Structure formats: structure tokens, C-alpha cells
Amino acid sequence: MKNRLLWPVLALVALLILNVVVTPTFFSLRLQDGHLYGSLIDILRNGAPTLLIALGMTLVIATRGIDLSVGAVAAIAGAVTCTHIAAGGNPWVAMGLALALCAVLGLWNGFLVSVLGIQPIIATLVLMTAGRGIAMLITEGQIVTVDSPVYRQVGAGFLVLPIAILISLAVLGLVALVTRRTALGLLIESVGVNPSASRLAGVRARTIIWTVYVFAALCAAVAGLMISSNVSAADANNAGLWIEMDAILAVVIGGTSLAGGRYSLTGTLLGALIIQTLTTTVYTIGIKPEITLVFKAVVVIAVCLMQAPVRVRVGGRVRGKQGVPA
Amino acid sequence: MVAPEVGAVPAKSPGSASRSARSRGRVNVPKRFLPVIATFVVFVATFGVGSVRYEGFASGQVMANLFIDNAFLIVLAVGMTFVILTGGIDLSVGSVVALSTMIAAAALQAGWPAWLVVITVLATGSGLGLAMGWVIHRFGVQPFIVTLAGMFLARGLCFVISVESVSIKDPTFRDLATGSIELPGGVTITYGVVIALVAVLAAVYVLHLTRFGRTVYAVGGSETSARLMGLATTRVKIGVYVISGFCSALGGLLFSLYMLSGYSLHAVGMELDAIAAVVVGGSLLSGGVGFVIGSVVGVLVLGTIQTLISFEGTLSSWWTKIVIGALLLAFIALQRIIVRRT
């Protein structure tokens, strides 16, 4: 079990070492006005939305599903909240509205997948395509800016640590507690291995699938709030663009198989951190920002190949030869 | 060389069910054609709505423009159909289009001859496809992830070439882009349309009249059975990504003719349009079911919706996305019904 996390951990450590070599002050943190600052905090803060979405995605992928619509859902959440606040609404009510609407969108995805039995990738493609249109419909194609101190706290606020980090870590803890301390995680995995068999064994496969999609949509909604609150604006076109891809990559790098049936929350945390560290690294070591994507592609392929099924099969011999990693 | 018994592979074909007692006595349309026919009906219906509502909609030129404005998407959808028929997916096509426009523009600016540019672009696209197919097959990594990495890689390479938009001033490319062919009835089309239609015909030929094409369907039906039957599954599984890469590069060339520029942010999200066209065209993402012609009609449906919305004028562009989403949903639901009945 721990073996599977070896490569992600090594990749993350390698990235961090690279950063320290280039910027010796990389690990330094400082406390100012009761707020913690530093490169590591920046990585965590910028990675918070990705981590949150990746958590929801992990559970969806564990049921052998996938949710492409999270980026669009995040945009919708931001659009609803900002439009409501801009119209003079209470920020708390606005956020509540956004979460409720996104829960409905999650129900919709779950309905398509669990009741109609549509392949998850297509079922969520519908909302991925239409969702941005809906978000634009809500904002009427404008970038809605708001000025609400309460709302600003979600993405840019501090409670010693940035609030966004605290939210993401709290959700991580909650998911870990609920799925690993109860049978829920096992049931989710059993649905991923074989939905019909688990149904025959008395697992409510349909309800579980439904739950994970609603959970993924809620995570996406909170992430959308973070993204839009950070800039105090809702951009229906660009908020959360491609974040679903980053989230899926984070999950896969963390050793969760897209074939379903097993998942690792620690792996997802590592995956999200790797992706964010990678982006930060590119900036700090002075690679041209344009090449970020190439860099990302190379790392993703490298980590995936390390974990590839074929390598596992011949792994005994290969690992025996190297014998270096402790 | 083509062995007839290979052609008899019942690759999860719902068509076999058309011989069931239920459909006997009716006009015998094989079930596997139903989704394509449905797509065609939707196309005629949307076009009909446009013709009734707007003056000048039902003209040959509007129809021709549908092809002119979507020539590149047709080529992309053709390549995507191959991949989806084997049960895979290729997310890299949009980025490869951008990369192709970028390479073409940059190379032309550097003074390369047009023919060399075309060959370079096509080779790059096919090479990327080959690399992705090889990784997918050799290491058993999911196509989704590999082509996602390919998407990042191609998009990143665009930025490496240039961050700015590079315009194409080469006379050969300009002539190809602005040149038009007059059809009877005063309708004009571009050379891009001709290239796209040739690509469609070639794809139909390969899929239905060659051993490779039949193996594509067989792999999509059941890879294990196909392999046990002794079919060349490795070649096909890698080959479809090469085809898709080639089509993306060709689509990229058509796109660079269409835009007369190379830009890193060209064709963002175009892979989703291509996938949507294939799904609307009646292919199943689980593989084994679908036709190239369906995908072409799928592209035309998407194009008609866009034309309708631009004719309407007052409707905002985001309705396009919502309508396409709704259409996707309708077609998926339709397919579920057909699959359940068989």
C-alpha cells in the first residue's frame, strides 16, 4: 500500500529540493500581523481549490466514474454568489444559494449516471459544455465584481493560515474520517469494482453513486467560491477553466486508478501538492512561464509511467536491481 | 489479402438484433443505422426551422458555408471517430490543431516552402499520435490520462514556439485560403471543404473496406475476443491514435488556412466539440458502434445551431453551449433507449 505512494512522495521531495537549491529561503515562513506568509503557504493556498475538487473527484473515480463538469460547476457557484451579492443580497445567503444550486447539479449528474446508466464521462460532459453557458447566462456574459468583506474571507482571508487552506484540510479530514472510519469507503470501492455484484450483495450502489456526484459538485462549488472570492469577481468563462483536468491528474498521480475500486486520499493530497508545487517551481526557478505546460506534461507522464501496470508486473526485478530507494 | 471471415466479426453490433422477430414484417432498417438516421433527422429539422424562420437561410450558400466554417472540425471528428470506435478517447486534438497552426505559421515565416511545411505539420501530428498510442498500449495507462498529457504538451510547445499570434503571409497558403471553387447554382466552396470531404471518404474506405477498419470495430466490441481471434489489435490500438494525430494536424492546416495565422490559443476546447460531434453522430463511447458519416452529420448539426444563433442575432453566444449540451443529452438518452431495446 505504501509502495504506491513512493513515487509521488519522491516527485514532491525532488521538486521541493529543486526549489531550495534555487531559492535557499524557500522554506522560510514569517508571521506578520498574525498571518503566516511564505512560499509553502502560497503553494498550499493556490492549491486549495484543486485539492478540494480533487477530493470530490477521488470518490467519484473510486466508483469507476469521472466528473468533467466540476470546472463549470465552480464557475456557476461563483456566478450565482457574485450576482446575488451584486444585487444587494447577503453574502451568506448568496453562498448558501450557490451551494444549493450546485448540489442540484450534482444530483443531476448522479441521476444521469446511476439511474439512466449513462457513461460518466459523457454524462458529465453534458454539464461541462452546458455549464459554462449557464454560468454566462447568470452573469449575462459580464464579469461581475463584488465588494463584500465577508465573501472575500473565503478565498483571501486569514486565520493565521489562509482560510482556503483550512477549509480544504477540514474537508480532507472529514472525508478521511467518514470514509475510512466507517464502512462507507469500502462500499464506495466495492461499487467501483463491480456495481451489479455490490448491488446483489446488498450495497445500495445507486445511492452511493448519487452521493459521490453530489459531494463532488459541492466540493467544486466551494472551490468555485474560493476562486471567485480571491479576486472578488465572477468570470463565467475562465473561472475554474481546466481545473477538472488538474484535479483528475492530482487523483491519478496520487495512485488512484481510473478503473475504480481503490482510492487513496493521501495520494490525492500529494498529487494536488505536486501539481501546485510544479507550477510554483516553474516560476521560482525562472523557466519561462510559457513552458509550464510542457514541464507539467513531462512530469505527469513520468509519474504515470512509474506507476504503470506493466512496470508493476516486472517491478520485482527492476526494483531489486536498483535497490536504492529506502 | 482481405479475409472475408474477419468481416463477419459481430463487433457488439446491435444490427444483429434487427433480424429479431419483432422487427420482421416492418421496413427493415438495421438498428445500427438508427442513431445516424436520428442525427440526420435532427439536422434536417434544425435546418428546416432556420429556413422557415429566416429569409435567405435555406440557400445553397448557407449550406456550403456550413462546410466551409466547419471543414477542420469535420476532419477532427473523423479522426476522433476512429479512436472512440476502439473505446479510447483523444483529448489532445484541440492542442494539436493549435500546434499545427503554430508550426505552419512559424515555418512559413522562416521561409520554408509550403510543401515542406505541410509535410512537417502532418508528420508532427502523426508522431505525437504514435507516441501517445504507444504509451497507452505498451504501459497500459488510460487513454484519458495520456492524451491529457499530450494536450498539455502540445499546448506548451505552442507557447515555446511563440507567445504572440503569427500571421501567415505565404502566397501559396493565401491562394489556397482565398481560392474558391464554383459549384453549379452559384455556390462557392473553399479548397478546405474538398480536403475535408476527401478525408471523410478515405476514412469510410478504411473503416469499411479494409482489414484495419474491421479490426477497429472488433477491438471496440471486445479487445480480448479480437486478440484471441488473432487480429492485429496492437497495430490497430496504436494506429487509431496515429490517425487521430494525423487528422488533428490536417485539421490544424485547414484551421490555419481558415484563420491565416498561428496562435497558441487557437482551438481551445475544440476536442470537446469533436467529441460532442461524434456522440451526437451516434457513436458509443464504449466503442464498437458508430459511423464516420454520423460524425460528419454531427458536426453539421453543431454548425447549424451556431448559424441559427447568429441569424437570430439577439440570442447571446452562450446559448450555443447550452443547446449543444441539451442535444448531447438528447442523443445519449436516445442511444440508451436503443441499446436497452436490443
Compute the distance between CA of residue B243 and CA of residue B200 in angstroms, rounded to an integer. Answer: 12
Tell me the H-state helices in chain B: 4-7, 34-53, 60-85, 93-109, 114-139, 143-161, 171-178, 191-209, 211-221, 223-228, 233-259, 270-280, 292-312, 318-341
Q: Do A252 and B145 touch (CB under 8 A)?
A: yes
Partners of B102 on chain A (C-beta within 8 Å) are: none
Residues of chain A with pLDDT below 70 are 1-3, 307-326
**pLDDT (tens digit, 9 = 90+) per residue, B145-175?**
899 889 989 988 998 888 888 999 888 888 8
What does the pLDDT look like over B200-213, one tens digit per residue?
Answer: 999 999 999 999 99
Q: Cell for A271?
A: 498529487
Q: And the C-alpha cell for A97?
A: 444559494
- In degrees and rounded to multiples of 5, residue B182 shows phi and psi of -90, 130
- Phi then psi dihedrals of residue B180, to 5 deg: -140, 155
Chain A residues 49-68 with CB within 8 Å of chain B = 66
* Chain B, window 85-144: residues with a beta carbon less than 8 angstroms from a chain A beta carbon: 89, 135, 138-142, 144
Q: A296 and chain B: CB distance < 8 Å anywhere?
A: yes
Q: Which of A310-319, B166-175, B249-258, B302-311 has the lowest mean pLDDT?
A: A310-319
The domain ranges of chain B are 32-44+59-341
Q: Cβ separation of A133 and B279 shorter than 8 Å? A: no
Q: Name the residue among A256, A75, A37, A299 with its Cα closest to residue A165.
A: A37
* Residues A291, B285: C-beta atoms closer than 8 Å: no
Q: By percentage, how much of chain B surpasses pLDDT 90? A: 43
pLDDT at B288: 86
Please indicate whether, in this complex, the C-beta atoms of A133 and B326 are within 8 angstroms of each other.
no
Q: List the single residue in A with minimal CA-CA distance to B151.
A: A297
Angle at B246 between CA B65 and CA B175, to 5 degrees: 45
B285 with A119: Cβ contact below 8 A: yes
Instruction: Cell numbers for B60, please give them.
Output: 445553397
Closest partner CB to A121 (pick from B140, B285, B317)? B285
CB contact under 8 Å between A136 and B160, yes or no, is no
Query: Taking all residues of chain B, what is their mean pLDDT, rounded to a whole number?
Result: 85
Nearest residue, CB atoms, B329 vs list A121, A126, A305: A126
Angle, alpha carbons A139-A143-A146 (nearest 5°): 90
The torsion of the CA quartet A51, A108, B277, B89, rounded to 10 degrees, works out to 40
Q: How confident is the model at residue B19 (pLDDT cuts 50, 70, 90)?
A: very low
What is the spatial distance between Cα A309 and Cα A313, in angstroms, rounded to a whole number?
6
Q: What is the pLDDT of residue B340?
A: 64
pLDDT the model gives residue B339: 64
Q: Do A137 and B322 touch (CB under 8 A)?
A: yes
Strands A161-162 and A158-159: antiparallel
Higher pLDDT, A209 or B34: A209
Distance from CA of A26 to the nearest CA of B (A): 26
pLDDT-derived band of residue B315, with 50, 70 and 90 as boundaries?
low
Name the residue ranges covered by the structural domains of chain A.
43-308
pLDDT (mean) for B123-148? 91
CATH 1.10.150 fits A43-308, yes or no: no
Strongest mean pLDDT among A5-19, A180-194, B38-52, B72-86: B72-86
pLDDT at B316 over 80: no
Q: Does residue B336 register a pLDDT over 50?
A: yes
Candidate CATH numbers 1.10.287, 2.40.360, 1.10.3470, 1.10.1740; the one for domain B32-44+59-341: 1.10.3470
pLDDT value of position A49 = 94
Q: Residue B313 pLDDT more than 80?
A: no
DSSP character string of A146-186: ---HHHHHHHH-EESEEHHHHHHHHHHHHHHHHHHSSTHHH
Q: pLDDT-based confidence at B13, cuts 50/70/90?
A: very low
